[in-house]
Structure 1
Amino acid sequence: MESLSLLADGLGTALTPENLMWAAIGVLLGTFVGVLPGIGPAMAVALLLPVTFGLEPTQAFIMFAGIYYGGMYGGSTTSILLNTPGESASVMTALEGNKMAKKGRAAQALATAAIGSFVAGTIGTLLVVFFAPALAGIAVEIGAPSYLAIMLMAMVLVTSVLGSSRLRGFIALFLGLTIGLVGLDLNTGQPRLSFDQPLLADRLDIVVVAVGIFALGEALWVAAHLRRRPLSVIPVGRPWMGRGDWSRSWKPWLRGTALGFPFGAVPAGGAETPTFLSYVLEKRLAKEGHEFGKGAIEGVAGPEAANNASAAGTFVPLLALGLPVTATATIMLAALQGYGIQPGPQLMTEHADLVWTLLASLLIGNTLLLVLNLPLAPLWAKLLRIPRPYLYAGILFFASLGAYTANQQPFDLFLLLVFGLLGLAMRRFGLPVLPLILGVILGPLMETKMREALSISGGEVSGLYNEPVAVVVYAVIVLLLVVPFVLGRLRRTPLSTSAPTPAAAAEAADSDKEQVR
């Protein structure tokens, strides 16, 4: 009850006409900047950070909340309409959302993304209010072996369920892990796969890789088929979600929220893994004749909810431990420190009024995001009425802009072209894109956690599985790999368990010859 009272005080502070104005400005600015391909919420917050200079701390953080959620929804918009994720956590949205758009269901995809963001963000923020101290204590106890096991499970799950064959999935995953190795070894400082190029000493920026594989690869693929098969303008379709869309979306919203929030609350978590797991879960739970791979609304609703629930969960370690677990949280931490506020265990007591106003502003920003962007979904969808040669020319421009602004290095434009050609080749040979992106994102983090676990155990292999959570996850991985193989063998096994004798086999062969004659 005390938490509710404090939250009510925070809402009372935030719900003034002036503060609501700053929240609405933040949502609109965040959405407009986030819509640019390659610019995710972290970059949107960073670019718009100077806008808040001169504001009071309360007003600045209310505007931050609007920019935060607006930037996240903007990244989802580009994923759905242009197949161009603004950040790594929006990769899953692009898989089914863009296929929905091509079928004339862009407005429904945008609407379920907005509503799922609102549901997950609201539930996640309330969970932060009630359970932040307890969740922070649990998060600290989870160690490197458990992180390593969870990320390995995500790789196995995604690679095994996507694409036309597991072999192609593992080839794509191997390519992604190889790309993730580029740069200096964090322990020894030795360059890896840098080809004596100083600009490759740092790890490749995931924005450049994702925009190249998705946006440029898609544009090149479309251009390669324009002469052979003229492309018509994509229909927009009905502007609102129907009853069937609602019935298929509400359960993925809740399941995605349940998956995303714990990952956000865990230090070194992030939204990538829960969005991947949410997509796999929804695909596993889909009924016969499902639309996955063809534009399933569940594949948009679940990952979007997981993404926003994870974003809300990141405030647990940020406020309770002073530990940012995402790039956006790092910028938020810098903003807090710029006002002389240091997040940590004493923050709730020393700056209670500001903390509860910030949490209340998250609820307000999330609500304004829904109110402002849900009516705009049909308007955003009309972008698809632009003839695709002109549309993809604009995509190439903004993709190049997004890749350049990631590090402000012209060399990134060359990398963008390389990954665009790789994306074109993957489409040509039927390799799934997601395992590659997953390998690039989680590969370096897996390496870090594996070395951390081995260093703690003194190099003993047992250090990789000496936590209960890790043991359970490894058991699940074994089941995921073994059960499909065993079931496949059982389907191919004859119903009769007794093997035929040589004489019976010869007799059967003679009978077959007689029938042929």
Structure 2
Amino acid sequence: METLQLLMSGFAVALTFENLMFALFGAFIGTIIGALPGLGPANGVAILIPLAFTLGLSPETSMILLTAVYAGAMYGGRISSILLNIPGDEPAMMTCLDGYPMAKKGRAAEALAMSAIASFVGSLIGTIGLIMLAPVLARFALTFGPAEYFALFMLAFATLGGIAGKNPVKTIIAAAIGLMISSVGIDIATGTQRYTFGVLELFEGIDFILAIVGLFAISELLFFMEEKAGAGRELIKVNKLSLRPKEIMAAMPTMFRGGILGFIAGVLPGAGASLGSFVSYTLEKQYLGKKGNFGEGDPRGVAAPEAGNNGAASGALVPMLTLGVPGSGTTAVLLAMLISLNITPGPLMFTQNADIVWGVIAALLIGNVILLLLNIPLIGFFVKLLSVPPMYLLPIVTMVAFVGIYSISHSTFDLYFMVAFGIAGYFLRKLAIPLVPVILGMLLGPEMEKNLSHALVLSDGEWSTLFATPLALGLWIVAALGLILPYVVGPLLRRRMQNAANKTPITD
């Protein structure tokens, strides 16, 4: 009953005219970002962060805008998968397997509509799961002490391989870079300057908003300039929509199963939407067996992965809001936004910032309806957008990033720093070093250091206190498993995904 009352208060926040308009804007822009191959939700949210500061939005409105962008980008990824056979982002890869064959058969509109409905169902299931699970997990997390929180942060770093890396060494290098950057500035405990080199702007540390916009948005622009500038791509012609209610109802059980599986995958730190999409598709294919013609244009082959990856997107918000540990790369960016707004994600957020938490959750529910209403009638618009050459879109993205960052501090030093991070991000990506661990190291480093110091002070420097309680010990065991399993199970999982993808080759 208390949860229902809190949700109603969240709707009171989300349904104000300003928040509703920004939710609509975010959903629309997010769908466009998701539809453009290569951008994805993490880059989309990073690009829009400066806009929130430029417009001087309140914390509630800022988070509603960025969450709507996140949800919209998850919807939009399916468009290029179906029409171009190019996934908008990694979770949309499985949608290519049946979406593109449907489009080649002249059923592109049906595939797009089915994927939009499946995205709605999956995201709705994930949001309901978030409403039910998040408060319970938040109350449990209130029992954590500094040793348990330090173990939790170690768990977050241990599961980074599942979020962002195929190579454990490179993932560890990226996390170490992030932790090193987080130590720049004046040590609060001792007052000692660390790695400031006498530069006044570094005394307060490096603003992770600069790092995020540089590493994600600016580096993406550099990649676009190198690889993707030029003419738009030739699209498959989209026919008039003729999806029958009977086909939707036949795929509804698939959507429900995919949404539930996706949510479970999203809640697990390090699993994310890619696993949700893959598990939903492969298990549905095995479940239906000879009743389906997966890989040949089966509508259920479109519904399963779309429900899975959108369910996982909502599930990934659970550990971020309740524990302050991001469940995916995009939620790591959202976590940075919360911290920049002087809001500490974690169990206390549900009491100290309940209006933001429940406003965002209510906005997710509203945003799903907005996205469904946008994505079906505006199919033609989003399709035409894919033919626009990136060379015309790049100046707009660049302008938003630079104006937004300058509006935060009115410092040209910040602009230079952002460009420096963009160049660094470009070379890190060239070396196949993932960016998400860098951001996570910057975000969690200060809190990790503070909890370690606090735990050692309380125990008079006794390191065994980090393993003293059953909860802390359990988290260390899970962290060890999280470090090992992605590199044992991961190659097998990727091999199966590649085998499935080879049935419908994905073009470059």
TM-score range relative to shorter protein: 0.5 to 0.7
With over 3 angstroms needed to count, the CA separation of the structure-2 counterparts of 1:237 and 1:54, relative to structure 1, is same
Give distance in 2, aligned partners of 1:309 and 1:72. Answer: 10
1:467-489 C-alpha deviation (Å, 9 max, x unpaired): 8xx99xx99x99xx9xxxxxxxx
- The CA deviation at 1:411 is 11
Residues 257, 356 of structure 1: CA spacing in aligned structure 2 closer, same or farther, 3 A cutoff? same
SS of the residue 1:104 aligns to: coil
Asked whether the equivalents of residues 79 and 383 of structure 2 are also in contact (C-alpha less than 8 Å), the reply is no
Aligned to 1:372: 374
Alignment match, 1:123: 125
Partner of 2:293: 291
Look up the match of 1:358. Answer: 360
Contact 1:79 1:97 in 2 (8 A): yes
Corresponding position: 1:17 with 2:31: no
Partner of 2:98: 96
For residue 35 of structure 2, what is the aligned residue in structure 1?
35
Higher Cα Rg: structure 1 or 2? 1
**Shift of residue 142 of structure 1?**
13
Equivalent-residue separation in structure 2 for 1:348 and 1:370 (angstroms): 29
Match of 1:156 in 2: none
Percentage of matched positions with identical amino acids = 38
Distance 1:135 1:263 in 2: 16
Decide whether aligned partners of structure 1 residues 307 and 120 sit closer, same or farther in structure 2, where only a CA change above 3 A counts: same
TM, length-normalised to structure 2: 0.61
8 Å contact kept, 2:121–2:307: yes
**8 Å contact 1:107–1:378 — kept in the other structure?**
no
CA distance in 2 between counterparts of 1:293 and 1:254 reads 20
SS of 1:9 mapped into structure 2? helix
Aligned match of 2:453: none
* Structure 2 residue aligned with 1:47: 47
Work out the CA distance in 2 between the residues paired with 1:331 and 1:322: 12
Conserved 8 A contact 1:236-1:382: no
Shift of 1:129: 1.5
Deviations 1:391-445 (A, max 9, x none): 6x9589989x99xx998559969x99xx9xxxxxxxxxxxxxxxxxxx999xx9x
- Residue 6 (1) aligns with residue 6 (2): yes
User: How many angstroms apart in 1 are the aligned matches of 2:10 and 2:375?
Assistant: 25
- Shift, 1:184, TM fit: 7.9
CA 1:185–1:70: 2 relative to 1, 3 Å:
closer
Amino acid at match of 1:344: G
Measured against aligned partners, the alpha-carbon deviations of 1:95-131 in whole angstroms (never above 9, x if no partner) come to: 3222222222221222122112211222221221222
Residue type of the alignment partner of 1:283: K
Matches within 5 A, 1:172-251: 234-251=236-253
C-alpha displacement at 1:309, in angstroms? Answer: 1.0
Q: Distance in 2 between matches of 1:464 and 1:315?
A: 20
Distance 1:30 1:183, change over 3 A: closer
Instruction: State the TM-score, normalizing by the size of structure 1.
Output: 0.60
Could you tell me which residue of structure 2 aligns to residue 194 of structure 1? none
Equivalent residues of 1:239, 1:377 under 8 A apart:
no
Structure 1 match to 2:472:
none
Which 5+ residue runs of structure 1 have no aligned equivalent?
152-175, 190-202, 223-230, 385-390, 420-438, 445-455, 458-462, 482-517
Change (3 A) 1:242 1:17: same
Equivalent AA in structure 2 for residue 112 of structure 1? M
CA distance in 1, matches of 2:27, 2:74: 10
Unaligned runs of 5+ in 2: 142-150, 178-214, 402-418, 438-465, 468-476, 496-508
- Correspondence list, 1:143-162, <5 A: none
How far apart are 1:381 and its partner, in Å?
Answer: 4.9
Residue of structure 1 equivalent to 2:451: none
Contact map agreement 2:35 2:382 (CA 8 A) in 1: no
Q: Match for residue 193 of structure 1?
A: none
Secondary structure of 1:288's match?
Answer: helix
Paired positions, count:
386
Q: Structure 1 residues 270, 13: closer, same or farther in 2, change over 3 A?
A: same
CA drift of 1:281 comes to: 1.0
Whole-angstrom distance in 1 between the partners of 2:425 and 2:351: 48
Structure 1: which amino acid aligns with 2:51? V
Q: Distance in 1 between matches of 2:297 and 2:71?
A: 25
Q: Match of 2:302, SS?
A: helix
Contact 2:99 2:297 (8 Å CA) reproduced: yes
Partner of 1:449: none
Structure 1: which amino acid aligns with 2:25?
Answer: I
Alpha-carbon RMSD across the aligned residues, in angstroms, is 5.3
Q: Is the 8 A contact 2:43 2:216 kept in 1?
A: no
